[in-house]
Amino acid sequence: MSKKIFPLNADKLEKIIEKYPTPFHIYDEKAIRANMRRLFKAFSWAPGFREYYAVKAAPNPRLLQILAEEGAGADCSSLPELILSEKSGIIGEKIMLTSNDTPADEFQKAIALGAIINLDDISHIAYLEKNAGLPEIVSFRYNPGPVLEGNDIIGKPEEAKYGLTREQIFEAYTIMKEKGIKRFGLHTMVISNELSENAFSATAEMMFTLAVELKEKLGISMEFINLGGGIGIPYKPEDNEVNLEIMGENIKKIYEKIMLPAGLNKTEIAFESGRAITGPYGYLVSTVLHEKKTYKDYIGLDASMANLMRPGMYGAYHHIVVAGKENEQPVNTYDVTGSLCENCDKFAVDRKLPEIAIGDKVIIFDTGAHGHSMGFNYNGKLRSAELLLKEDGSIELIRRAETIDDYFATLGGFAGSIMQE
């Protein structure tokens, strides 16, 4: 079981809302730092453990700075993410570019930053060499196909667009070795939002075995093995969180069994966690605008799917509480909705909650990853602010809310005439 406790009481929240109107996402700095330290401690046995935070999960430079201070690097998949990382003080081999269908300017920027290039396809070797040159260190993303099952979110590996086949992996490293590359890494990503520690053991065993084969057949010793992300979080109160300590110990045993006898005792272990690091420590705060009673009882918020896409896109569960009513019994059944012209714009369906009144503040949990970052402007909706609950209890605005002027700013001369009205 996981306790769902918002780190602010109702009175403190109301004072924040007086300065920063809802909706907004707010992140708990203290909890994020503690969680990052816990991951590093769980893998303190591993030589040079690396965490490349998945920037796509929460692409805010203030959050990236906090994570960098705790030792994390950045997993990037676009040019803006590379620039965000650079501006946040993350450079060199603390960055790993793992993109797909990658344009030349992304490769060029990654090379300029000294980042690790993680290639998604064997054909990218020639493209990279032609458009950006070859880096000092290179990695390839492995897709095991039907050998290893994915989970419900990521699907079957053989149906995913990502990565190289087993045959291509051996060919790709051979090509790079012949081109004079001397430093190598290995990467995979086959699960997402996984709550079973055993799934990560299976991934580790597969990748360690592959690394040994590459050494034996090609004479290549991997500097690091990136086991990907995929560590899930307990979105539902009845879910159990992943025990990082057990996961670390399990992978340690497999490392000692497979890697050490092969002389790969210096190979570093890496993860690219995003959701698992910041996800549980972000919250979407919204105000109840309307209650509609037709065939169902609807609670309408000033937030919408534009602020949190996951429930509408995936049918994902996000826990909801009403500020000041956390200890009241759930007596009504509601659909909690936004105002988009889409029927999937619902944060919850048939959710048991305390009796809700107009003006109540609703807190949606676990939005610290793939929350604000997946926002959009459909229906002319404006992206919300992001706030940071600092360790000393103060509040920092780390991204202001979009304005109408922002919405029209990219429309050229037409935009200027509108904004002057």
Binding annotation for substrate: 275, 310, 314, 342
Residue 144 contacts residue 167 (beta carbons within 8 Å) = no
Q: How many CB atoms lie within 10 A of CB 282?
A: 27
Which is catalytic among the residues 44, 341, 359, 380? 341
Burial class (CB in 10 A: 0-12, 13-18, 19+), 289: middle
Helices and strands counted in the chain (H then E): 13, 17
**Distance between CA atoms of residues 135 and 110, nearest Å:** 9
CB 186 within 8 A of CB 140: yes
Q: Which residues are annotated as a binding site for pyridoxal 5'-phosphate?
A: 230, 272-275
Identify the three-state secondary structure at position 247: helix
- Is residue 301 classed exposed, middle or buried when 0-12, 13-18 and 19+ CB atoms within 10 A define those classes? buried
Structure tokens at 305: 């799917």
The vertex-150 CA angle with 371 and 53, nearest 5°, equals 40
Q: Which amino acids are annotated as binding site, given as ranges? A: 230, 272-275, 310, 314, 342
341 part of the active site: yes
Q: Is 221 helix (H, G, I), strand (E, B) or coil?
A: coil
Q: Torsion-angle region of residue 231: left (phi > 0), alpha (psi -120 to 50) or beta?
A: beta
Q: How far apart are CA 216 and CA 49, in angstroms?
A: 24
- Active site (catalytic) residues: 341
